Structure 1
């Protein structure tokens, strides 16, 4: 059987019942796919007869060498970044498709997939308009690292972290979806599921709203640098500063990052509620994701602090992800302004 026998909700979170017995499938899967590559019906049977967690992990391993080869050929090391907005939703869609194919209840997964698609649409939109400030758009990080690391070591870094670890990470954050799949027959869709799904929707909206504020600011700054004229609704001091400290960015240096991380923490919390557990092994996904954001944000701010003279003051006054309490909007630097917005002049 591709899915474990679940006798109670706690079984859904038992690694030794839900994962370990299916690990051998990972070793046999490549050969089975190769043997049936021209037989569509056989591939459908193989899909349903393979544990969905194992097949999802196999996809992440398959993509890693592709990311590596493409990045080394064109010397652009942001190949995983380009797929950042798509792969988690791909994995969620995979679990949802499997639930339907295997005859499992799928209402919870259908609902999750809807908000996962909204999350992907938001990140993809930001990427293509070149205004996204998610982790996946910071191509300059790798350029800075290449200047600090000699080529052989950077190649190893590309193999181990950029191409492999990040690909696996985007699989790991969706592991709670596998647990929701396993728990589908044991716990029907309830009011709490609506709360969790609506919370995901609110977080996606928050990330989109914060990205919009950042995009508007960066657009105004670019126009100001090009024309030397302050766009309507902006202060010259804000544009000269070089980074946004208004709106949500007056309370958090990275409100979009904060909401981004919360999306996957809430998904994990959803899996805990459904399985009636306080914690489960799928926490490895959100923990790894939060760790990456901490490291990436630290590195990004290190670059920003060298680039913008006032950034260290901004760091002192405004929380990285969560607002510093007590206080009002500490990041607006209102005490340093000596002019009115351009619209008021």
Structure 2
């Protein structure tokens, strides 16, 4: 039922909001009625294929927003979307890929997106699980701080707008470049439908590299905090960590070695890079310099840019040397000047010199 995809004649058309999104807005009103009328699996599949896949994804995001809002207000725990963060983007990517398969469209690029997205979900889910995030009683430490700063009424508005609905919709929109790839597959010629050019291979390779950076940085943080917690209990460095950390490292309270010797948040930088890479891939495939999906990519980056000062403010209040660490190490990526000046150790020496004088 390809009438549920936009009518496009060029690759550039696939990135136009007016051609790929606007014509399908009425489906937002008709889709709920169609779902209510479903009586069998065949009915459900007909509804699924007869509606534009982006609109289907948008409706699903709204439903998730309602569910997380209700759960948050009932439990007074505002980390409901956080628990779904690692799986929702992959669900949307899988949706676009599955829809294309059912319609018999070329899916090689979509299959690659789904593969790397699944690896991203596995990595993020595992990291969240081992930190205890899936425990229903655990709440992200930043929400109580914001609730205290904003007051209950403003925070309730924040929950209704951003925390529940805003974040749910954003996690759908960051996969919108996959929808663009789906649209371009409709006008891909048979001779090239099973081929990937060099750049098409560069994008998933870049994605995989960024996932490796995230995984390594998360593992380094995990090992450090395990060692620190054991050290706080016994005042002894566990034998398996003696070659990795000194008493001074563990007394400091935060990690300054490994990737964290070059950037304070290498995992955040890689996470932002993952979805920016998908956006650029959509631009490349549609032969556009930029397109409407840039809004979601920038919003995703903005979340990290705006939340990091809060995180670092907490660290500054807990750890005496964190301001020194900030002065010696770049926030997201290595700062060439700070690296040349010795990084954290150089900043320590300069701070010590100032105190001596």
In the alignment, structure 1 residue 19 sits paired with structure 2 residue 30 = no
1:214 aligns with 2:221: yes
- Contact preservation (8 Å) 2:116, 2:204: yes
Specify the alignment match of 1:258 in structure 2: 269
- Structure 2 distance, partners of 1:151, 1:196, is 44
CA-based RMSD of the aligned residues comes to: 1.7
Q: Is the 8 A contact 1:179 1:271 kept in 2?
A: yes
1:77 is matched with 78
Q: Residue 245 of structure 1 contacts residue 331 of structure 1 at CA under 8 Å; is this kept in 2?
A: no
The CA distance in 2 between the partners of 1:7 and 1:203, in whole Å, is 34
Instruction: Tell me by how many angstroms 1:333 deviates.
Output: 2.6
Is the Cα contact below 8 Å between 2:218 and 2:267 reproduced in 1? yes
- Separation (CA, whole Å) in 2 of partners of 1:129 and 1:334: 34
Cα distance change of structure 1 residues 329 and 274 upon mapping to structure 2, 3 Å threshold: farther
Residue 9 (1) aligns with residue 4 (2): no
Instruction: Please show how residues 41-56 of structure 1 align to structure 2 within 5 Å.
Output: 41-56=42-57
Q: Kindly tell me: are residues 55 and 44 of structure 1, through their superposed partners in 2, closer, same or farther at Cα, counting changes over 3 Å?
A: same
3-state DSSP of counterpart to 1:333: helix
Contact 2:283 2:291 (C-alpha < 8 Å) held by counterparts: yes
Once residues 315 and 282 of structure 1 are traced to their aligned partners in structure 2, the CA distance between those partners, rounded to angstroms, is: 33
Partner of 1:157: 158
**More moved, 146-155 vs 244-253:** 146-155
Pick closer, same or farther for the CA change 1:329–1:55 going to 2, 3 Å: farther
Supply the distance in 2 between the matched residues of 1:180 and 1:8 (Cα, whole angstroms).
13
Question: How many Å separate the matches in 1 of 2:22 and 2:298?
Answer: 21
What does residue 314 of structure 2 align with? 303
Aligned residue for 1:333? 345
1:235 maps onto 2:246 in alignment: yes
Determine the C-alpha separation between the residues in 1 that align with 2:280 and 2:158.
Answer: 32
Q: Would you say how many aligned residue pairs link Structure 1 and Structure 2?
A: 332
Q: Which residue of 1 aligns with 2:113?
A: 112
C-alpha distance in structure 2 between counterparts of 1:298 and 1:116, whole Å: 28
Q: Structure 2: 5+ residue runs without aligned partners?
A: 350-357
- Alpha-carbon separation, structure 2, partners of 1:59 and 1:200: 26
Q: In the alignment, does 2:327 pair up with 1:316?
A: yes
Residues 248, 203 of structure 1: CA spacing in aligned structure 2 closer, same or farther, 3 A cutoff?
Answer: same
**Deviation (angstroms), 1:84:** 0.4
Change (3 A) 1:321 1:284: same
TM-score, length-scaled by structure 1:
0.92
Q: What residue in structure 1 maps to residue 63 of structure 2?
A: 62
Deviation string, structure 1 residues 28-76 (Cα, Å, up to 9, x no partner)? 111110111x222111011011111111111111111110111111121
What SS does the corresponding residue of 1:183 show, helix, strand or coil?
Answer: helix
